[in-house]
Amino acid sequence: MERTLIIIKPDAVQRGLTGEILRRFEARGLRIIGMKFMPISRALAEKHYEEHKGKGFFEGLVGYITSSPVVVIALEGTNAVQSARNTIGSTKPHEAAAGTIRGDFALEVGRNLVHGSDSVDSGKREVGNFFTEDELTSWTRSTDSWIFENR
């Protein structure tokens, strides 16, 4: 089972889209193993976006993600990273397919509602940045046999 980090960003929280976004991941079959409603500190934001340090948009990213509380979610499932990214849609909302989160609710890159890990390695690192192992709960739903093969 892969793990991925989802951040429901400040614009989505402010617009009241948290429940709808969370519903889409659950409806997809991904399992919530950790969730927090929290402000992101500048230090944590810089760590999260460290690969963009030195780029012209870095300060804007940090300022935006720290501007309002977010919901961080650790999800688990078969091909969780790619499944979550397909549910989210293209980074550029105008290129995102209808039926995706960004395709249905976003217009601009700088207000694209949600972050999802871009690889299995990033998922491991990012989940570790926001959650301790004690804060994560792997569990089995009664519906798992109808979602995952051979479980």
Contact 49, 60 (CB under 8 A): no
Q: Cβ distance 68 to 149 under 8 Å? A: no
Strand partners, 7: 72, 115
Distance separating alpha carbons of residues 20 and 139, to the nearest angstrom? 23
Give me the residue spans of the domains in the chain. Answer: 2-40+68-140
Class of the CATH domain delimited by 2-40+68-140: alpha beta
pLDDT tens digits, the chain, 151 residues: what are they? 899 999 999 999 999 999 999 999 999 999 999 999 999 999 999 999 999 999 999 999 999 999 999 999 999 999 999 999 999 999 999 999 999 999 999 999 999 999 999 999 999 999 999 999 999 999 999 999 999 997 6
In contact, 2 and 78? CB cutoff 8 Å: yes
Does pTM surpass 0.85?
yes
Sequence-ordered strand ranges (E) for the chain: 2-8, 31-38, 70-77, 114-116
Residue found by looking up tokens 């079959």 in the block: 29
Active site residues: 115
